[in-house]
């Protein structure tokens, strides 16, 4: 089993610092919080995504999961939810992550 941590615990930390933290403490993987306030988010270009992958790969750290804020069971129209989920899945694919984590976000 891989030892990993989530960047939920280090909000806003630059990618290079996340990599150094992981490598310096013996982690093999990370879950990346994907939010517009974070260095990694669905709005990254293809070249920016490739640079993130390279940074982690060079240091032997695997990107395991992309954690997003899609409210999968939110009330209302499904189209915006599915579009946001598709963006996260595309980001995870481009980063080589095998998992996407979302919140249920159902009603009260």
Question: Where are the domains positioned within the chain?
Answer: 4-103
pLDDT, tens digit, for every residue of 69-95?
999 888 899 999 999 999 999 999 999
Please report the DSSP string for the chain in residue order: ---EEEGGGSTT--HHHHHHHHHHTT--EEEEE--TTSSS-TT--HHHHHHHHHHHHHTT-EEEEEEEEEETT-SS-HHHHHHHHHHHHHHHHHHT-SEEEEE-----
The domain 4-103 is classified under which CATH number: 3.65.10.10, 3.30.300.30, 3.20.20.150, 3.10.110.10? 3.20.20.150
pLDDT, tens digit, for every residue of 19-68?
999 999 999 999 999 999 999 999 999 999 999 999 999 999 999 999 99
**Global confidence as pTM:** 0.93
pLDDT at 1 over 80: no
pLDDT at 108 over 70: no
């Amino acid at each position: 089993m891989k030892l990993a941590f989530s960047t939920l615990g280090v909000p806003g930390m630059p990618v290079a610092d996340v990599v150094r933290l992981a490598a310096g403490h013996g982690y093999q993987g990370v879950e990346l919080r994907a939010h517009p306030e974070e260095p990694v988010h669905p709005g990254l270009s293809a070249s920016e995504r490739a640079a993130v992958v390279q940074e982690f790969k060079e240091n032997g750290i695997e990107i395991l999961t992309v954690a997003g804020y899609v409210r999968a069971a939110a009330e209302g129209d499904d189209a915006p939810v599915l579009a946001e989920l598709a963006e996260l899945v595309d980001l995870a694919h481009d980063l080589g992550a095998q998992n996407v984590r979302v919140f249920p976000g159902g009603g009260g």
